Amino acid sequence: QWFKAKVGLEPVQTPRSISFCTHAIHGNEVMVVQDATIDDRFSANPLVTGDLGIRFYAGAPLKTDDGKRIGTLCVIDTKPHPEGLPEKDRATLESLARRTMHALELRRSMLKDQQSGTPR
């Protein structure tokens, strides 16, 4: 996996086999990991046990209009969040994921029109 945009996270890409996003992309809603050190799916993960020291993850799947999953929009922290992700923040992450997909779909449509010569 690779990170298209990031703040405060050093690697640009990580192996998909250890990716938190691999789990999140298959869900229909935001996936939240409050403390990765005590989550059976991630406690032995090198992204948790290694230099990155990921503790918290929240990710919303990015889905095309036809349902294809192309990635996730996520928030990662090196501190656990035992309170989870407040409902307001969860709704914001879901909204940002929808807006991201809308922008990507619009861009794809514009590029398709340009390639076919269809005026806008």
Answer yes or no: are the C-beta atoms of 48 and 55 closer than 8 Å. Answer: yes
CATH 3.40.50.1000 fits 16-116, yes or no: no
Specify the pTM.
Answer: 0.85
Domain ranges of the chain: 16-116
pLDDT in tens, the chain (120 residues): 767 666 777 666 788 899 999 999 999 999 999 999 999 999 999 999 998 999 999 999 999 988 899 999 999 999 999 999 999 999 999 999 999 999 999 988 888 888 887 665
Closest CA to 60 of 84, 25, 15: 25
